[in-house]
Amino acid sequence: MKKGDIFIILFVAVLSVGLLVFYRISATQQYHHKYAVIMIDGKVYKKVSLDDVNHKEEIPIVTKQGKNILLVKNGGVQVIHAECPDKICMKEGFIDKPGQSIVCLPFRIVVEIRGDKSVEIDEVTY
Amino acid sequence: MKKFTAFFGIFLLIFIFSGCSNKNSQPISDTKFALDTYCTLTVYDKVPKKVLDDGFKAIEDIEKKMSVTIEDSEVSEINKNAGIRPVKVSPDTFYVIKKAIHFSEIEKGYFDITVGPIVNLWNIGTDKARVPSAEEIKAKLPLVNYKNIVLDEKNMTVMLKDKGMSIDLGGIAKGYAADKVAEVLKKEGVKHAIINLGGDVLTIGTKPDGTNWRVGIQTPFKPRGEYFGIVEVGEKAVVTSGVYERYFEKDGKLYHHILNPFTGYPADNHLYSVTIITDTSIDGDALAKVFVMGLDEGMRVAENLPGVEAIFVTDDKKVYITSGLKGNFRITDPEYTLMTK
Amino acid sequence: MVFLSILVSTSLILYIIEGMLPVPFIAPGAKLGLANIITVTSLYLFGFIDTLIVLIVRILLATFFASSPSTFFYSLGGGLLSLVVMHLVKNIGKNHVSEVGVSVSGGVFHNIGQMLVASAIVQNINIMIYLPVLMIAGIGTGIFVGLSSKFLLKHWNKFKILKY
């Protein structure tokens, strides 16, 4: 290995660790409201609130190519059924922090968790 | 390399500190169970906690007078003496019943507090809920008529003309209680507050920063707190009647708690909910029952009343709003569509 | 030309073998990148243009043999960006950078390219959150690929018997 090699490796390592730390910090910020956004082809398909940790729901995501099923539980989401060929989205597991996302490339689905730092609403009427 | 790490160090520090710099004064808040529901008072001014307690006292006072489940309440007394004699009541109860009759007229009898006998048949919202037989309903229907409430302004008495009649202030007492709480809080110097009595929202003033309150409207049949749209209001009452609040299912059919006084059955008109925005909560509470009138007629009533705005949600997730709400209401859930008509 | 074909088929085999290896899941798209050994080697032996041909042919064939069509653009984006960056690092670094440095930058930019294409496909830039993890993975695979290529190049002379 030469000097340049070490420089490149260190450069990338520092950069990615820096980015990771930055993500960690931005993910541990306090959010008043947390929700999952399901997007197909970049368009919002559905929004689900994740504020209620006791809420359990299975959401079918139907695309032109096939269907995936998203499970909402414990204030997070997970893909539990995928008809796509690679099933990477299922391997991505359970996510519950704002900024995290699950991607299904074959079906062009992105499930993203977002948080509202500023309170979007003051009260709910029901 | 050194420069690089230094750059990142600074970068991180900025982020760490920006995270804790947003200080905001914490509002004080408390929740109690009263009027058959959870009541939450949130005050954004610096006031002693005693102010909240005074607010809750006002609610309990009204509950004692107007609850049908409390044996010796004024309303129970009126019901017990139906067809027998007039009952002397407090100015509060008298005012609420008078208001109720007023709104029954506006809503052409679709809102009617004498629906008590029918409510007792269904028992929706309790564990005794059941579908009554058509005969049972038919037998009780003649007892439902707000015109048979006799008010005596001079002696402050209320009498129900026929034996077996009963009134249920469930559809209006909550609204009045919220107004009362607002009165109490304002007297104690509160300038910014939210009163939430089981989903009926009444605001005092504006937000501490002078902007409007943003009130979310409950998404039907979703966990409580999830909303499909946001309405921006100043000092207003925002009251919702929704089928999802209290209901039971039998043989695949959904029976909810908003009864049609003319049929004796839950209103069946493809509406999910109606939200009313008014100056006082009692008006909002009573007007939310335009739900029973259905979309077209209910909308007409809401449009024609000054200072009243409304949001109607149908069971195919379409949202209709009165003309005065344009620009103050937006939908946040893409499953719902705002209709213009 | 014959040798280029050998390179293509070798990289294709590596690619398919890799598809059979169970890889611990780190992030979407993270894998060993065995086929990159050939790309790096080829870059040192035949230069940019020929390697570009090897790469594109390999990806095209791999799409037919091993993977679903949706991963085609994905691989292409990663592969092209990685190749361009490796070419640049190799030329700028000259004597200061060895195969390892070249292949690490290639590995990292392969992942960056893939993420770019992926976020273009799903039209969501926020999935870039996986980038740091993929970059670290890229360092690891890059070192492995670099050392393998170095080894391969060292024994290059033995191949000379083939007389291409």
The string of pLDDT tens digits covering residues C9-43 is 888 888 777 767 665 555 555 667 778 888 888 88
Quick one: pLDDT at residue C24? 57
**Chain A neighbors of B11, CB-CB under 8 A:** 18, 22
Identify which of C25, C74, C139 has the shortest CB distance to residue A105.
Answer: C74
Confidence of residue B22 (pLDDT cuts 50, 70, 90): very low
Same domain, A98 and A69: yes
Residue range B28-62+175-339, CATH number: 3.10.520.10
Same domain, A75 and A99: yes
For residue range A59-99, list pLDDT tens digits in order: 898 888 888 999 998 889 999 988 877 777 887 788 888 87
Q: Distance between CA atoms of C31 and C40, rounded to whole angstroms?
A: 17
Domain(s) labelled CATH 3.10.520.10 in chain B stretch across 28-62+175-339
Quick one: pLDDT at residue B17? 45
- Single-letter amino acid code for the residue at A100: Q
Quick one: pLDDT at residue B310? 96
Using the Cβ of C47 and the Cβ atoms of chain A, whether some distance falls under 8 Å is answered with: no
**A19 within some domain:** yes
Instruction: Compute the half-sphere exposure of residue B145: CA atoms within 13 Å on the CB side of its CA.
Output: 11
Q: Distance between CA atoms of B309 and B303, rounded to whole angstroms?
A: 7
A12 with C104: Cβ contact below 8 A = yes
Chain A nearest-CA distance from B30, in A, is 14
**Chain A neighbors of B245, CB-CB under 8 A:** 126
> How many other CB atoms are found less than 10 A from the CB of residue B58?
19
Quick one: pLDDT at residue B146? 95
Quick one: pLDDT at residue C45? 85
Lowest-pLDDT choice from A25-39, B162-176, B249-263, B308-322: A25-39
3-state secondary structure of B32: strand
Helices then strands, each counted (H, E), chain A: 2, 8
Using the Cβ of A16 and the Cβ atoms of chain B, whether some distance falls under 8 Å is answered with: no
Quick one: pLDDT at residue C162? 56
Using the Cβ of B179 and the Cβ atoms of chain A, whether some distance falls under 8 Å is answered with: no
Report the share of chain A in percent with pLDDT over 70.
Answer: 90
**A122 within some domain:** no
Q: Distance between CA atoms of A26 and A28, rounded to whole angstroms?
A: 6
Same domain, A77 and A17: no
For residue range B247-305, list pLDDT tens digits in order: 888 888 889 999 999 999 999 999 999 999 999 999 999 999 999 999 999 999 999 99
Please give the ipTM for the structure prediction.
0.79
Same domain, A8 and A54: no
Of C128, C72, C75, C26, give the one whose Cα is nearest residue A91: C26
Same domain, A66 and A105: yes
pLDDT at A15 over 60: yes
Same domain, A26 and A40: no
Looking at residue C129, what DSSP letter applies? G
Chain A nearest-CA distance from B150, in A, is 33
pLDDT at C164 over 60: no
**A110 within some domain:** yes
B131 has which bridge partners?
none
Say if B and C touch: at least 3 Cβ pairs within 8 Å: no
- Inter-chain CB pairs, A–B, below 8 Å: 90
Identify which of A19, A91, A110 has the shortest CB distance to residue C132.
Answer: A19
Chain A nearest-CA distance from C34, in A, is 19
pLDDT at B78 over 80: yes
Domain(s) labelled CATH 1.10.3980.10 in chain B stretch across 69-167
pLDDT at B1 over 50: no
Same domain, A66 and A86: yes
pLDDT at C74 over 80: no
Lowest-pLDDT choice from B1-15, B37-51, B227-241: B1-15
Looking at residue B22, what DSSP letter applies? -
pLDDT at B13 over 60: no
Phi-psi label, residue C131: left if phi above 0, alpha if psi -120 to 50, beta otherwise:
alpha
**A86 within some domain:** yes
C105 with A105: Cβ contact below 8 A = no
H/E stretch holding C139: helix C131-154
**Chain B neighbors of A18, CB-CB under 8 A:** 8, 11-12
| Residue of chain A nearest B230, judged by CA positions | A121
Same domain, A41 and A90: yes
pLDDT at A29 over 70: no
**Chain C neighbors of A100, CB-CB under 8 A:** 129
Q: Which residues fall within 8 angstroms of residue B139, CB to CB, at 6 or more apart? A: none
pLDDT at C76 over 90: no
Lowest-pLDDT choice from A83-87, B31-35, B186-190, C89-93: A83-87
Same domain, A11 and A72: no
Using the Cβ of C74 and the Cβ atoms of chain A, whether some distance falls under 8 Å is answered with: yes
Chain A nearest-CA distance from B19, in A, is 7
Report the share of chain A in percent with pLDDT over 90.
Answer: 7
Residue A105: give its domain's CATH number: 2.60.320.10
3-state secondary structure of C30: coil
Confidence of residue C138 (pLDDT cuts 50, 70, 90): confident
Looking at residue A105, what DSSP letter applies? T
Quick one: pLDDT at residue B194? 95
Domains of chain C in start order, with CATH, are: 2-162 (1.10.1760.20)
H/E stretch holding B187: helix B173-187
Q: Which residues fall within 8 angstroms of residue B223, CB to CB, at 6 or more apart? A: A49, A51, A52, A55
Q: Residue C53 to residues C4, C56, C58: CA-CA distances in angstroms?
A: 8, 5, 8
Indicate yes or no: pTM above 0.90.
no
Q: Distance between CA atoms of A47 and A29, rounded to whole angstroms?
A: 21
For residue range A38-63, list pLDDT tens digits in order: 988 878 888 888 877 778 888 898 88
pLDDT at B24 over 70: no
Quick one: pLDDT at residue C38? 86
Quick one: pLDDT at residue B15? 47
3-state secondary structure of B311: strand
A126 with B224: Cβ contact below 8 A = yes
The tokens for A60 are 């079918």
Boundaries of domain holding A51:
33-116
Strand order in the sheet with A67-73: A57-62, A67-73, A76-82
Question: Which runs of consecutive H residues, i.e. helices, occur in C29-125?
Answer: 36-46, 48-65, 70-93, 99-121
**Chain A neighbors of B15, CB-CB under 8 A:** 22, 25-26
Same domain, A22 and A37: no
Using the Cβ of A49 and the Cβ atoms of chain B, whether some distance falls under 8 Å is answered with: yes
Q: Distance between CA atoms of A87 and A97, rounded to whole angstroms?
A: 22
Using the Cβ of B272 and the Cβ atoms of chain A, whether some distance falls under 8 Å is answered with: no
Quick one: pLDDT at residue C23? 58
Q: Distance between CA atoms of A22 and B9, rounded to whole angstroms?
A: 11
Confidence of residue B95 (pLDDT cuts 50, 70, 90): very high
pLDDT at B21 over 50: no
**Chain C neighbors of A10, CB-CB under 8 A:** none
Angle between helices B173-187 and B91-106 (to 10 degrees): 130
Identify which of C93, C135, C136 has the shortest CB distance to residue A4.
Answer: C93
> What fold, for B69-167?
T-fold (1.10.3980)
Using the Cβ of B330 and the Cβ atoms of chain A, whether some distance falls under 8 Å is answered with: no
Number of domains in chain A: 2
Average pLDDT taken over every residue of chain B: 89
For residue range B133-174, list pLDDT tens digits in order: 999 999 999 999 999 999 999 999 999 999 999 999 988 999
Same domain, A50 and A104: yes
The residue among C113 and C22 whose pLDDT is bigger is C113
Q: Residue B9 to residues A11, B6, B12, B19: CA-CA distances in angstroms?
A: 15, 5, 5, 16
Q: Which residues fall within 8 angstroms of residue B43, CB to CB, at 6 or more apart? A: B27, B28, B29, B51, B52, B185, B190, B192, B193
Using the Cβ of C118 and the Cβ atoms of chain A, whether some distance falls under 8 Å is answered with: yes
Chain B nearest-CA distance from A30, in A, is 9
Quick one: pLDDT at residue B149? 95
Quick one: pLDDT at residue A32? 67
Same domain, A26 and A76: no
The residue among B122 and A86 whose pLDDT is bigger is B122
Quick one: pLDDT at residue B79? 95
